[in-house]
Amino acid sequence: MMAHYLKKFILITTVVLITGSFFFGVISSSSTARASFLDIIQALVTINPLKVEIIAPKEALLDQTFKIEATVFNSGEEKVSNTQAEIFLPDGLTLVTKKQINKLGVIPPNKDKETKWLVKGEKAGNFFVLISAQGEIKEQVITAEATALITIVDIINPAKTKGPSFVQRVNNWWREVLNFFRTD
């Protein structure tokens, strides 16, 4: 076990020393460029400022229309252009609105835009809805996604939607056990 930690330590130390020597010019050649450690981190780590939040009902009635809203946030310091949001629905949910993709245009820094779709539940059950947002910063495409779970409930036949809950199943089991041992 100790050898494993020693190997990790040696590897990390070697990487740091070699990286540092390139950055600070200890190892130099005509083809080597100097950069600060912060420059390297900024180049390697690109932070996606695009975020998506879904506002949807947890439950909706079978054969009824309901609204799914999405808020697309730009948490960065540059505008996001050509922004659009797209909804993806599983079988059992149908898009009532005509457009699956809604164009949002430009989202300024630290601002958001909202969009919505009308959806209809055509069969009972649990469904995941996916919303994907896409935009551009300096001609680089960025994306963000979010999902929501929606349960479509059949009020005429609720047994189609859900079976008994865990607590109900345990209570039923105990009732059967007690009835088995009952000596009336």
| pLDDT tens digits, one per residue of 6-55 | 666 776 777 776 766 655 555 444 555 566 666 655 554 557 889 999 99
Q: Check whether 166 has a pLDDT greater than 80.
A: no
CB 136 within 8 A of CB 110: no
From the number of C-beta atoms within 10 Å of its C-beta (0-12, 13-18, 19+), residue 88 rates as middle
Q: Residues of the chain with pLDDT > 70: what percent?
A: 68
Helices 2-23 and 37-44: angle between axes, nearest 10 degrees: 110
For all residues of the chain together, what is the average pLDDT?
A: 80
Spatial strand order in the sheet of 50-55: 50-55, 65-74, 111-121, 93-95
More confident residue, 135 or 4: 135
pLDDT tens for each residue of 95-127: 998 899 999 999 999 999 999 999 999 999 999
**Residue-level pLDDT at 40:** 58
For residue 23, give the 3-state DSSP assignment.
helix
